[in-house]
Amino acid sequence: MRTTLLLAALFFVASPAFAASPVVVPSLVLSQATTPPADDDEEDPAPAADPKPAEPGTTATTPAAATTPAATTAPAAATPAPVASTEQMKLVNGAPLFNPNVGVHIVEQKRFSDSGRFEVTLYPVSVQVNGKFTQHFGTMGQLTYHLQENFGLMVTGGGNWFNSESSLNGELVEKARVEAQAASSLLWTWGVMGGVEVTPFYGKFAFFEGTLAQFSFVLNGGAGIGGTRHQLKPESARTDGSISPATYGDTGYRFMAGLGAGFRLQLGSRFAFRLEVRDVVYTARVERVNGCGVDDLRAMDNALRGGRLVTSAMTGAGCRVDTFDGTDPETGLKRSNDVPLALGLVRNPSSDALNNVGLYAGISFLF
């Protein structure tokens, strides 16, 4: 009897159903993978017999051949990415700029917008840089209303508190007895112009540590009017060694136009610095001196030659005869000495357009 039971147990273990059935271990299931036939001509193996009902205390499972797919080759492991250092992971304004594997391209808007704001600019000193026959030093101001970020309306005005003929022209008069024509030596005293200003591009850079400065390239242009004068008698030395100052005559208003270009540096939201080069163009034809034309000056010159006062001459309503009468308190000279000089200036008027190129440095306040 024992021999019969032993043979039955061996037959059951060697049967195909038992070989394909997994062995169940608590919390762990092991299965034997089925091997596909090596040759296509071989017949498919017979289906495994249904497993017997599970004995008490065991768990019934489905054969692995019906549920488990064929094993596949696992892909090769990817090369791990290098770990960034603490310095590389540091963020600069939200971007890992220190990471060599990151390329950052950013175009940011300006921190402080100019649109809808006023800007008042003071140019304490404006210097003429192309003075061949004239030299000017002045103070200018500008009011700009920024309609948009890159476009604004402006009004510029001011005066040249120093305007005189250059040392070259004085040397020509003293040594060669010649001087530049009025069209080349007309002096600009004051002016007011209105126009527009545009900002083609702007940028920013670090100003010291923790401060971000904004710069922009500006272009402006405008037109207006201005006052002019011309030197009548140059400065000269007296016999006693003192200096006889130069005398000037008012030559009236002129149409003026200007173009400029420069840089604007803004620090914060309120203050900015400007450095610009501007070219102011104005006509230089001289037809009147102190409001007196050639006929008025000829009548005064004839009165002086006849031993009479300039006030006795018949002149037009616009001629300011009093500017040629009496003694100048500053120079101590008779003003009537300028009558023949002014007559020679307007008798043969020359026509030209002058370019006054100046360097303007100023500070702005925005509100």
Distances (CA, A) of 167 to 7, 130, 239, 345, 349: 136, 13, 21, 20, 23
Per-residue pLDDT tens digits for 115-139: 899 999 999 999 999 888 889 999 9
Rounded mean pLDDT, 74-79: 54
Q: Which has more pLDDT, 271 or 99? A: 271
Average confidence (pLDDT) over 88-107: 58
Query: Per the structure block, which two tokens stand in for 337?
Result: 């000495």
Instruction: Give pLDDT, residue 26.
Output: 43
| % pLDDT > 90, the chain | 42
At 117 the pLDDT is 93
The span from the CA of 340 to the CA of 334, in Å, is 12
What average pLDDT does range 347-360 have in this prediction?
Answer: 86
Rg value, the chain, Cα: 50
Alpha carbon distance 190, 195 (integer Å):
17
Structure tokens at 180: 């530049």
pLDDT score of 306: 92
* 168: enclosing H helix or E strand: helix 167-171
Does 67 score more than 70 pLDDT?
Answer: no
Residue in 40, 25, 29 with CA at minimum distance from that of residue 63 = 29
Torsion-angle region of 150 (φ positive above 0: left; ψ -120 to 50: alpha; else: beta): alpha
Could you tell me the domains of the chain? 2-32+43-67 (no CATH), 118-286+349-366 (2.40.160.20)
Query: What is the structure's pLDDT at 149?
Result: 86
End-to-end, the C-alpha distance of the chain in Å comes to 115
pTM greater than 0.75 (yes/no): no
The DSSP output letter for 337 is G
Instruction: Report the pLDDT value the prediction gives residue 9, as an integer from 0 to 100.
Output: 56
Residue 31: the pLDDT is 41
Q: What is the mean pLDDT of residues 315-327?
A: 92
pLDDT higher than threshold 70 for residue 89: no
Rounded average pLDDT over 148-176: 81
Separation in Å, CA 247 to CA 107, 138, 147, 165: 59, 20, 46, 11
